[in-house]
Amino acid sequence: MATIGFVPHLQRPEAIELAVSTASWLDASGHKVRLLATTTSQWDCSQEELSHGLDLAVSLGGDGTMLRTVDLVLSTGVPVLGVDVGHLGYLTEVGPNELRQALTRFLAGDYRIEERMTLQVDVTRVSGPALGSGQPPGPSPLDKINALNDAVLQRSPGGHTVHLAVTVNGDRFLTYAADSMIVATPTGSTAYNLSARGPIVSPRARVLVMTPVAAHMLFDRALILSPDEDLRLQVIDGPLAELVVDGQSQGSLGTGDVIRCTAGPHDARLVSFGGRDFHHILKQKFGLSDR
C-alpha cells in the first residue's frame, strides 16, 4: 500500500474537491492519504507532516502550486505529479479527469521520473539582518533558499534601477544597471525569463541562465553558465533590491548584500507518463503549427 499526499490550490474549490474525492477513492482501496490542511477532512495534515514516509505528492492547480509542492518535498526526494486545474501549464502532467488513471499507473509502476535541476540561492547580508529574522541590523549568517524556476533581484516598487556587480568563479564580469536580473534554471527558462526574451532551454539540460531585464547599458544579452560555476550578484551604490524566488518575495537587499546562485543539492523529481513532450507543450502554448 502507498502513502499519497495532496496539495491543492487554496483558492480553487474544484482543486480541493478533486483532492478530497480522490483521497476517498484511495482510502477505500487501502492506501494511506494525506491532504495539506486546507479542508476539514479526516486526511488533513500540516506541512511538517506531509512528506514523512510519502510515496507521491500530488499537486492540484497550476504551475504555482507545482512550485509550492516541489518545495515542500524537495529535500526528501518524493516524486511530484502535477494535475492541471486551470490553464495549461509547463509543469503539470495530467488533467483532472485523468487523475485516477494516472494514480493507477503510478501504483502499478507504469511511469517515469524526470529529474529537474534546481537552484540554490545563498544570501549574505551585510546591510541588515537575515531575511525574515527580525534581528537588528548588522552582518548576518547565510540564508539558503531553493528554487525550481528562478531567483530575481528586482527594483523595489516605485524604485529606480538596481545596480548589480556580477562575478563568475570569483572574477568580476560586469556591473549591470537594470530593472531586474533573472537567474533561471532550464525549467524556469519558460517563466519570467521567457517574457524577458531570454533563451528557451530544454528542461533536461543542466545550466544556469542569467538574463537582465530592461538593462540600461549596451550589453543586455542573456548569459548561459555551467551549473557548477559560482555566480554572484552584489547590490552596489544604489536603492534597495527586492529578492523574489519562485515568485515569492524574500525581502529587500541593500548595498553590499550578495546572492550566490548554484545548482541545488537536490533535483526535483517529476512524475511523467510520456504523453506531454516539452516541445509539444511549447507549440500548444504559442499556437505554433508546421507549414
Q: 57-94 burial, b if ≥16 CB within 10 A, otherwise e?
A: bbbbbbbbbbbbbbbbbbeeebbbbbbbbbeebbbbbb
SS3 content of the chain, % helix, strand, coil (to 5): 20, 35, 45
In the annotation, is 237 catalytic?
no
Catalytic residue among 27, 44, 55, 63: 63
Order of strands across the sheet with 258-263?
A: 143-147, 119-124, 258-263, 231-235, 162-168, 171-178
| C-alpha cell at position 245 | 524566488
Alpha carbons 283 and 52: distance in angstroms, whole number? 38
Alpha carbons 151 and 145: distance in angstroms, whole number? 9
Sort strands 3-8 and 32-36 into parallel, antiparallel or unpaired.
Answer: parallel
The residues with which 210 forms a beta bridge, in sequence order, are: 183, 223
| C-alpha cell at position 125 | 547580508
| Vertex 189 angle, CA 232 and 211, to 5° | 45
Alpha carbons 125 and 139: distance in angstroms, whole number? 6
* Catalytic residue IDs: 63
